[in-house]
Chain A
Amino acid sequence: MNTNPDEAKLALWLEDELHGDELKSFEQWILTQPEHIAAREEVRHWKQMISATLPESEEPPYPDFFNSRIMQAISQPVTAAPPISTPKATPFWKSWLMPASAFAGMALAFWVGTQTSHTEVRQTASAPSKTEFQPIVYTPDGEVNAVWTSGADASVIVLEGVNPIPDATDFTETVYMDTDHEIDSTAGRDSLPH
């Protein structure tokens, strides 16, 4: 027969936490066990030493100020916490319509984007031909007399009163001509009058 008490009850007895009938019935056995009685005395001795050394209660410094600060803190109105928005139930049609419309919007934006980029490619392909060449138009300053003579081989235009043309003038840029072949600025040179 196992006469040993359970550990929990022994621990309670050692700390003087057993009372009433439970204590009486337990002590019938435990008081015959000198080692347990010695253990309880040791616990009592230990507790007496600790409790005599470390005070159970110790007034905080400036006790009145201690209280007044607490009272000041708790008498201030507590600011109401912002209401927490609870998620509302999403209607059934929204659950599939919203993703579908979002997808359609993205597809439309992608298509518009591709169309826009094609147009720009075409524009940029032709634009340089207009912007790269800025034709220089020669305009006489004063009164100029022009004599035009047309022969069998050539047409001659004689301008009188024209100011000298600066050497820096580049005649290749004087006129824009939309032509595939190279402009021959010397054509008909031999037929020009000297």
Chain B
Amino acid sequence: MDWKMMNKSTAGSSKNEQGTEVPVDLGDSLSTPDDDLRLVALAQKGDMRSYDALVTRHRGRIFAMIRNMIHQEADAWDLSQEVFIKAWHALPRFEAKARFSTWLYRIAHNVVYDWTRKRKIESAGELNDEIFERDRIDPAATTAPAGGEAPDESMSHGELRVKIEAALGKLSGEHREVVLLKDVQGLSYKEIADVMGTSLGTVMSRLFYARQKLQALLKDEYESR
């Protein structure tokens, strides 16, 4: 059965307060939170075309967020899908108290932390790549591994993005997430607190220390701009 054909009669329209049908454009022109809520209302009734439109609208942000969190594109692709699958199953419980995007970030937060926890358990006892970091090599060592860069790293060497991503990778998971949500995704303190399930004060404190550490790691780049 073609999923696109399901609930075709309800797709692309919703009822207003007077009960009359109001056409809803499922294309990319939708961009406001109100449009999100209309699509969510249709999806909650089982309209999968509306949900497909929601996925199209939000997949870029969710994928970028997860990719910046875990620094692995293939896993970020899988985890982003998991976010939308979980969101679909939780959709009947979604109330329009928060933006749909904030709600998705909350699910993404849980998915990433579950994945990280699982990986920690599975990789226990495996070789730790950190031992190959050059700044951790004993300066008095008589031999040291060659410091050649991988081809892709070499090509993008000097790019600010690589340096920022590397610096973000040195932050703790909580600090990295709060920076990404605030400085990249543009969420408010309140929204970040909702996503991370913590207090406003904790978010403020984490952001302060995370930025301090990042600025110290990117001192040269930051001061030259």
Contacts and interface: CB of A to CB of B under 8 A. Distances in A.
B40 interface: no
A74 B184 contact: no
The contact size tier of chain B is 35 or more
Q: Is the interface of A mostly helix, strand, loop or mixed?
A: helix
A160 interface: no
Contacts of B84: 70
A60 B183 contact: no
Contacts of B183: 46-47, 50-51
B161 A54 contact: yes
A63 B51 CA distance: 15
Contact of B68 (A15, A45, A54): A54
Interface residues of A toward B: which range? Answer: 20 to 34
A17 B189 contact: yes
Nearest to A63: B59
B30 interface: no
B80 A60 contact: yes
Nearest to B76: A60
Contacts of A7: 204
B156 interface: no
Contact of B164 (A53, A57, A66): A53
A11 B208 CA distance: 9
A60 B60 contact: yes
Interface string B175-200: 00001101111101100000000001
